[in-house]
A and B are shown apart, each in its own frame.
Chain A
């Protein structure tokens, strides 16, 4: 079983600051998904990255897939309070769509 490690576990920043969270594995994976989970809700997909070196942008969020496809990062520019949530990375382990999740990074953005 591949182990996904996310860092940091917790991040508290003020509105307007930038932040980066990381997802790492010792093994190569074919694709990776990032989800955001708000309190009392289920995770919601933000992005899927599939190509080594790929960079995807979603408004103020920038997702990067490492060249070796063993790591990924999520960068948020000028964070807003609405960015508060648990950020989870996940990889599919087989063709049945099963996901393996990292433990997540809890991000708190204060006004």
Chain B
């Protein structure tokens, strides 16, 4: 079972370059999320989607864009990378349900911006 798959796993960018992180889930989940994880700060929500064709801002959306053209895929884009975006990015998905639902995470994508 693949679950949640993120590509690429590692990437090094120069300041100003652009890139896209791809998240794919095979569990037919409605909800998908992008988080970033930085030392001492836990996981912070960047953007999320509650269904195909929908996206919404999370806690730290600046500098990122997202798209959910297909239910199983959630893309995170950086148009002009900055060193402050050096982080580990996690995609997650969940069923459409109430307050106690479980999030299923990918293995993470480590991004370094020089």
Contacts and interface: CB of A to CB of B under 8 A. Distances in A.
Contacts of B40: 9, 103
B109 to A, nearest CB: 10
B94 interface: yes
A44 interface: yes
Given A96-B50, A97-B97, A98-B33, A40 B108 contact: yes
- In the A-B complex, list the 9 residue pairs whose CB atoms are closest, starting with the nearest: A42-B105, A101-B42, A103-B42, A101-B43, A45-B102, A97-B94, A92-B99, A97-B31, A48-B100
A99 B90 CA distance: 13
Contacts of A33: 100, 102
Interface in B16-37: 31, 33, 35
A96 B42 contact: no
Contact of A97 (B44, B103, B107): B103
A40 B109 CA distance: 9
Contacts of B92: 42
Interface of A: 1, 4, 9, 30-31, 33, 40-45, 48, 50, 88, 90, 92, 95-104
B94 to A, nearest CB: 5
A1 B101 CA distance: 20
Contacts of A101: 35, 42-44
B42 A31 contact: no
Contact of A88 (B43, B102, B107): B43
A26 to B, nearest CB: 17
A103 B41 contact: yes
A104 B42 contact: yes
A44 B90 CA distance: 12
Contact of B58 (A45, A50, A90, A98): A98
B100 A50 contact: yes
Given A97-B94, A101-B42, A31 B99 contact: yes
A31 B100 contact: yes
